[in-house]
Amino acid sequence: MKKKHSLFYHIVIFVLAQLAWLALLGLWIYWYVYNNIVFEKVGDQVSPQVSYDITNVVPFVVGLVLLSGLSFTTSLIFRHLSIQLRLAKLYDNFISNVTHELKSPLSSIQLYLETLTERNVPPDKQKEFIGLMTTDVNRLNNLINSILEISALEQKKLSHDYQVQDAESTIKNLLMDSVGQFRLPDDAINISGSAPCEIVTDAKTMKIVLDNLVDNAIKYSLESVKIDVKLSCNLKKFIIEFSDNGIGIPPGEFKKVFNKFHRIQNNNVPNVKGTGLGLYWTKEIIRNHGGKISVLSEGEDKGTKFTIELPVYGASKKRFVNKLLKRK
């Protein structure tokens, strides 16, 4: 509620400032026109020096430019302030989500430790508790690593190992790894199409892209997840079409889902845990590969399709490829 009041306050200040500039501009124009009228009526009765000062258009033009500049500067300041307020709100949501993500496994670990300490737990239960605590520790570790890696990615400090690889086999292998990692049944994912081309890719970060898409498909599917992946290529692009059977994405969210910290605000969306960084991370990785990612959904409960386009090796700009491969 405090942020809404703050935003309204700044909007009012902005509007009042613009009205003040317009009023001042109006007075300036009035002064100029009034003096012109006066000069026309009594110009022959004043000295040439006075006539020159009154009719000189330079002060009017300079004043007009200054007022316009002040108005434009105020608009820029307000725009920057609006962006900062929006980022602050997103950042607050991110902190809230991350805090929840951290507290949940920590509370679970604490409960298991207290149970093991204060009670006589049978060996089989001890083993079960230790396994659950290990899972929670891995969850914490993955969350912290993902935040650190996104920071490193933005600062261009994340190490990469780009190599020329066969597009089809590389993506298929990475997808199969994701299926095993998320413990999906064999029929949960269907890979079709053919892509007889090569791409320059870093398998580690490309695995992150596919893991995020698979994870999203699982989180936003109300039934058993079904994923269809179609691979294709032409002379210039290698294309991955990743479709799921989830709840879909509203049209107004297509571009926003790739923004940092963004979470879809919709009553029909289940309460999914997360930080709002997954798709942002995905977009940045694809961009660093020289490609692009887009999203499309036909409507509610009709699933979502992500389309990834990567440049084919040989069709990419030589300078860009050499930079990825660290060639001189």
Q: Taking residues 192-219, what's their average pLDDT? A: 90
Give the model's confidence band at 2: pLDDT under 50 very low, under 70 low, under 90 confident, else very high.
very low
Cα 257 from Cα 265, distance rounded (Å): 11
Q: Of 263, 261, 237, which Cα lies nearest the Cα of 249? A: 263
Note the pLDDT of residue 11. 66
Note the pLDDT of residue 5. 47
Pairing verdict, β 305-311 and 198-201: unpaired
User: pLDDT, tens digit, for every residue of 60-79?
Assistant: 666 667 767 766 776 777 77
Sorted by sequence, the CB contacts under 8 Å of residue 158 that are 6+ apart come out as 149, 152, 205
269 vs 102, higher pLDDT: 102
Sorted by sequence, the CB contacts under 8 Å of residue 309 that are 6+ apart come out as 237, 238, 239, 291, 292, 293
Give, for 132, the enclosing helix (H) or strand (E): helix 123-154
Note the pLDDT of residue 153. 63
Q: Taking residues 7-29, what's their average pLDDT? A: 68
DSSP H stretches of helix in 220-309: 278-288
Question: Residue 259 burial (CB < 10 Å; 0-12/13-18/19+)?
Answer: middle
55: pLDDT strictly greater than 50? no
312: pLDDT strictly greater than 50? yes
**Tokens 């920590």 — which residue?**
106
Highest mean predicted confidence (pLDDT) among 100-109, 207-216, 264-273: 207-216
Q: What is the mean pLDDT of the chain?
A: 77
Q: Taking residues 196-211, what's their average pLDDT? A: 91
164: pLDDT strictly greater than 70? yes
CA distances from 323 to 121, 124, 319 (A): 58, 54, 6
